[in-house]
Structures are given as structure tokens and as C-alpha cells.
Structure 1
């Protein structure tokens, strides 16, 4: 059941049910708080009317995410009862209607959340941005995909994909907003070509605002089957935080002595080994050496790809045809599934 609405208030009922219908999701309306407990845990979202918040709180239901108290508008007592319930928020109607519409839209789109894959270069020029673009292009052939540019000093993922002139919202605009961002609003707002969306900067002076990223990434995974983040290796604490948010982390490194030495320092600084792996580029050392030096398993080896620079210059992106990048993207995403 997507939504459980617990209320006896006609005004709350008349405000919430049309929003559920607009989001294309069903709602179970329960006027008896005691009977609502049976569906409390199973519902994707629980909306407790302020008229019954005290009664529901007295029943001490199991604390869970996705509980909100709604009222017309709610009084001070509603906030006290919301604290007792462990509710995420108190929503005053009708002023909170746009916010509640976004929450309900997310429930309608949720299904299973997408995966968040981070890509970072163990050393400069390893090809992390190219791999990130290839992963996004591969997945976008079959499902909504978002490529997030997290490297202010990088070339710009939109340029590698030939999407720099596609209109849409960029990091600068998102940093000026506040509050919750709906998955659908983000998906429809970023520059997009078919199933592939990109989030990057518009100007030359760039800075990654981590608080904005904290707001954006949850909406991104709710609205896309895959989110790929091109991470900046010079990010320090910001890199470590963003890497921790990723379901999978791919560290790209050449199989050379300098490359593996630099990668080992980056990996040690991140302090992460679970759900992380090496993507090895050509060099004189073998996979066993790479694993021994860095402490990470080799999950893919990507050879040099002929015609790569020409494909990028023509606006086709790195995955213009068959080749090592296509095979690596296929195999890596199959493992991450």
C-alpha cells in the first residue's frame, strides 16, 4: 500500500486524496487509529491527520521513516505529538501542498531506488571521467540515468558527451535553492538527451557545494535507475563523504609504479574497502601487483580505445561504438546490479 492516511477530518481528507490521485498512487484512509496499526509498517508513506495525532501517538506505534503529521493548519499540539511519533515533519495545509505533492510523486516513482556509483581517479589523468561517462551512456540505453559532475577542475561531463548546449538546471541554480527536491523535478530539470541526464556547472569558476549534494543525491537515486558521480580526487573530506554515499566505488588507475603509489594514498585516505574496486588501465604491472599495493580488488581492466578522442570531439561521448569501454561498462554494471 503506497499511502496510509489516518484522519477523521473532512478537510484533511479532501486535501490529501486529490494529491494522491494526481501522483497516481493509492491511499488507504483509516478513521480508526487502532485499526491503522496493521498497515503502519507496510505503507510506503504514513500521513497522520493532526485531529488524530494525539490518539495515534498514545498507541506508541513502531518508529519508522516516512511519517508526517498533516493539518489545516496544525496547532502547537500537533508538533508535540509529531515528536512523540518520531514523525519526519509537520505539514500545514494548504500552504504545504506543493511540498506534499513532491513527496507523493516520489512515492509514485519509487519502486526500487537506483544505484549510486562513484568513479574517482587514483592519479591524475587516469581516465575516471571518461569511464564515468561510458557507464552512464551504457545504462542510459535502457533506463533513466543521471551523470553527476563532482569534479570542479574536470573538463565537464557535459562537454565529453556533447551536451554543453542542452538547456537545463546546473549546480549553480540548485545551490541557490533550499528544502526538499522531488525526484521528478530533478529528472525533468537537468540537461537531458533521451534517458541520459547530466548535472554539472555552467561557468568556469566552479565549486562543489556539499550541502547541496546531500540534498540532490537522494532525489537523484529515487528518480533514476543509475546515478554515476564523477568524483574529484583532490576533494579531501568532501571526497570521503561523497564516496561513503556511493553503493559502489570504482577507482581508476594505470598499472604503473607512480600510478599505483598515488592510488594507494588516495584509498588509504578514503578508508573504504567494501564495495570498492580498481579499474586498471594499461601499464607495466599486473593485477596482483595492483591489488597488493592498493588493497583493493581489480574489477576490470580497460585497454586503450582507438578513436576515443575523435568520438569525444564529435560530441558522441566515449561510448560511440564497440570497444574496451563498452565491454567494461557492461561488465561493471552487471556486477553492480
Structure 2
């Protein structure tokens, strides 16, 4: 991870930015020369451009990148916002008014990865398909290699913390994020979530009067944005019930995994869902149980099959014991999850989205044989 880059000749602004950087625990590179800044522009964890240099920086047309912010001392003139657009800046902020926001940006930069995280949505194509269980298995498996965050988007689902055996783990739940608005820092979210190793989980909790019956859109947007800044992979457990928020979050995903039973009713239901959701982004199928094979599933549903798996023996017992759905690398769910990650995960995506599915040239993936837990 590289350091933040600060460009300004304004002594007052620089003093304040260096104070905030120290509070955030980061050591920025500072320059008052826009041309000199080009050496570090692309590699800096975040770029903060002082309003005093904004026009000069825009004039040399640095390459577009994420994480560029304009900051000034006092009220910003209206023309600054045109310059911000020319630079591709994400925000323009006033100090000292936006001090806490700038502090969060600098703090996030110390844990920001080279690119924003890949977001994979998991949703049931048919009832009883086990989409939540597969979302948990996908997150468990991914966390062996990457910083992973699993977000439970379904208030009426079984609860990903219950499936993973994390219902008693300390950390915030959705109710804590539905009380306030504003920017949610990536580090703040990472530190507050219930965690098992590299896996963080955001869910609704175990029931009771304090558990929200619905998920507020502003809270979901803030959590997904913070999770993607602070993790290499984000998995969303999405509800089948649909609605505006679900459709919005589906559109934010780089890939959608539709889990369905491998029988005709399940595949027919999945086909109707895929027809409705085809505009949201790339769709892949995971088929579960005995019945029709992957080639037939592809034909019926119209989406490529990334994994075909039998039911896993001992799954209910493992979940009841708090072990989660993945007990070993050899288990059915673990192998299916790895198949998905090979095609859609951070290494395949390069932080930019899924690579072309192999089913574009071959509709039948290798079946995941066996049913050992």
C-alpha cells in the first residue's frame, strides 16, 4: 500500500491536512508542484488536491483514477466544481467544516486495496434452493485468500450469522447503521463487524424487538460502498422478494450467482428470474441436487452453469453445531465455491469485474462429484 498524495501550496490548508493525516495514522507525500506529483499520482492510495492548485493540476490532464478529492480552506467558489469535474474528482470538501470526512478518507487510505473490491450477489432462483447457505460457503471459502465481507440483505431470511455460527459474536448489526446517515468509513466498518479471521459479516441479528423488519436504502448503500473500499471481495445475500433496493444492489454487483435446484420446477423458476434480471449484470447458475444436468440447465434457464453439486451430507448438523457450511476444502460446498471464485473472484476479475465465463464456449462445466462434507 502506498501513501496518500497531497498537492497544495496553501500553508494553512497543508497544516490542517498534515494534522488530519497524523490523526489517521498515515504519512502523506506532499508536493506543491503538479508536474512533480505525476510521478506518484497513479500509485497513491488517495489524492487530495488543494483548491489553490486545482486549475494547474487540471491543466496538465493527469490520468483518470479513483480516490481524487478537492479540498479547500473555507467556502469553496462555485467554479471549483467545474474544475473537480475536469479532474474526475469524487468530492470537493471545505475545511474545517468537513474535517471528520477528510479524516475518514485518509484513514480509509491506509487499508485501501489496489482497487475496489469485487461484489458478487447470490440469490435464489427457486424457493428452498439454499442461496443463503451458498452465500455463506462462498464467503467462508473466499476468506481463506482475501479480505471478505458478507452482507445479509434479506431481513426475512435465516440470517447469515446463524448459518455461520456467528450469532453470538460481538459486533454491529444492521440496526446500528440505520440510525445515522452520512459517509461510512471502510476502516470503521471493518473494525465494527463481527469477524472470523478475514471474514466480516453484517446481518440483522437473532430476532427480537430491536431487529429491523426492513433495510433502509441509505444504510445498504453506505455499507456496500464501505465494504467494497475495505475488502477484496464482497458477497451480498439477496432476497428473492425483489423490490427497488434489491434491483439497485443487483446492478452494483460485478456478477450475480443464481442458486437453484436441478429439477424442472426449480429451473423453470430460475428461468423466469433470469429473464427479469438479465439487465442487472452477468448472471451465472449454481445448480444443486440430483436431476437435470448442467447442459440442460443452461438450455432451460439461458445462463451459464458455473457449478453443479449434489447435496452435502451432514450440512444441517454442521450448521447446528456452529461450524458453518464449509468444514473442509474437500466438501461439496467448498469445491462449488472455489469453482465460482475461479471465474468471478478477485484474481479472475483483477478488481474490474468477472472474466468471460467458460460456458461462453462450453455449456457443461465439470460436475462436482461426491458428497463428502
User: Does the pair score TM above 0.5?
Assistant: yes
Question: Cα 1:253–1:30, aligned 2, differ >3 Å: closer, same or farther?
Answer: same
Q: Which residue of 2 aligns with 1:107?
A: 109
CA offset at residue 42 of structure 1?
5.7
Q: Which residue of 1 aligns with 2:128?
A: 125
Aligned-partner Cα distance in 1 for 2:62–2:163: 49
Q: Which residue of 2 aligns with 1:30?
A: 31
Q: Which residue of 2 aligns with 1:85?
A: 84
Question: Cα 1:224–1:194, aligned 2, differ >3 Å: closer, same or farther?
Answer: same
1:125-172: CA deviation from partner (whole Å, max 9, x where unpaired): 101111111111112234322111011211111111111122211112
Q: Which residue of 1 aligns with 2:355?
A: none
Gaps of 5+ in 2: 348-373
Aligned-partner Cα distance in 1 for 2:58–2:128: 60
Aligned residues: 334
Please give the secondary structure, in 2, of the residue aligned with 1:109.
Answer: coil
Report if the CA contact (8 A) 1:82-1:90 is conserved.
Answer: yes
1:326 to 2:329 alignment: no
Q: Which residue of 1 aligns with 2:152?
A: 149
Give the superposed CA RMSD: 2.5
CA offset at residue 312 of structure 1?
0.7
Report if the CA contact (8 A) 1:57-1:84 is conserved.
Answer: no
Report if the CA contact (8 A) 1:57-1:81 is conserved.
Answer: no
> After TM superposition, which residue ranges in structure 1, 4 or more long, deviate above 6 angstroms?
none
Q: Which residue among 169, 191, 206 is the counterpart of 2:213?
A: 206
TM-score, normalised to structure 2's length? 0.81
Residue correspondence of structure 1 range 56-75 to structure 2 within 5 A: 56=56, 59=59, 61=61, 64=64, 65-72=66-73, 74-75=74-75
CA offset at residue 181 of structure 1?
1.1
Gaps of 5+ in 1: none
Q: Which residue of 2 aligns with 1:137?
A: 140
Report if the CA contact (8 A) 1:34-1:59 is conserved.
Answer: no
Aligned-partner Cα distance in 1 for 2:307–2:244: 27
Q: Which residue of 1 aligns with 2:316?
A: 309
Report if the CA contact (8 A) 1:220-1:227 is conserved.
Answer: yes
Residue correspondence of structure 1 range 162-311 to structure 2 within 5 A: 162-202=165-205, 203=207, 204-272=211-279, 275-311=282-318
TM-score, normalised to structure 1's length? 0.89
